[in-house]
Structure 1
């Protein structure tokens, strides 16, 4: 499984409205629910916070990679969000974020390997400053998909 198999234009929001971490997580989770990826927003958000309590998900470069590992996941994906404003987030570089990659994975142990593979692939891509800049400047969800799957 790789990024090209899980990135969906329908769950890419380049106009995230949330101004707090909680609002952003709920907004992206609602998009996942609306597109059939999860069956329960509240439970999914609760499970995100379980993972958030284990460590920092702000990766630096204004990027956050929260993880929703939950039994309410119907299909593995990564919701992508970007806001035109910065959101306070625990981050390795202590900077706020405006680009969000919300992992949506089953808590079934069989999916753990896929989760780690996807995380490694995404981290490798967004670790490049030029690609992070391309994502910050992308105009459409289709452009985001192209950048992430090239």
Structure 2
């Protein structure tokens, strides 16, 4: 994935540095509202249902303090990646039983399955590096988060 895709997929208005709710479903709704408030959700209820359905299939807690709820849905018209971080952590039922402190939400249109997999794969790979996670914890502005992700995906 091209680092320049970050501007398109994850504009600063999709990055929240406010502490989200600590309960998984409430955190998912919180991030979905960030995407909706940016005008990128056509059907909030449909998007939420797709996210919850995906959560039922298998955990989106990937370990190392990371949660990546994601869905393909016709409830949105363009791919979006939202981000928040949680001081307390959110239980995403990760494989290492650790709470998620860095939470990314990926939403792509139903027709965008290749892009969905590319974004998920690229994001997951970059977040396995300790220095990337540390830089996200240290980021002071949404622009800082964007910068970290551009560098990580370069």
State which drifts further: 140-149 or 36-45: 36-45
Which residue in 1 is equivalent to 2:78?
A: 75
Which residue in 1 is equivalent to 2:36?
A: 33
Hey, what's the Cα distance between the residues in 2 that align with 1:71 and 1:96? 30
CA deviation after TM superposition for structure 1 residue 47, in Å:
0.6
TM-score of the pair, normalised by structure 1: 0.93
Contact 2:90 2:100 in 1 (8 A): yes
CA deviation after TM superposition for structure 1 residue 146, in Å:
0.2
Q: Does 1:48 align with 2:51?
A: yes
User: How many pairs were matched up?
Assistant: 148
Hey, what's the Cα distance between the residues in 2 that align with 1:120 and 1:88? 22
Q: Does 1:59 align with 2:62?
A: yes
Contact 1:80 1:102 in 2 (8 A): yes
Which residue in 1 is equivalent to 2:119?
A: 118
CA deviation after TM superposition for structure 1 residue 54, in Å:
1.3
Q: Does 1:100 align with 2:106?
A: no
Contact 2:72 2:116 in 1 (8 A): no
- Runs of 4+ in structure 1 deviating by more than 4 angstroms, as ranges, are none
Contact 1:47 1:70 in 2 (8 A): yes
TM-score of the pair, normalised by structure 2: 0.90
CA deviation after TM superposition for structure 1 residue 18, in Å:
0.9
RMSD: 1.3
Hey, what's the Cα distance between the residues in 1 that align with 2:16 and 2:33? 11
List alignment gaps of at least 5 residues for structure 1.
none
List alignment gaps of at least 5 residues for structure 2.
none
SS in 2 for 1:53: helix
CA deviation after TM superposition for structure 1 residue 56, in Å:
1.4
* 1:36-94 superposed Cα distances (whole Å, 9 cap, x missing partner): 11112222111101111111111111110111221111210101111222112210111
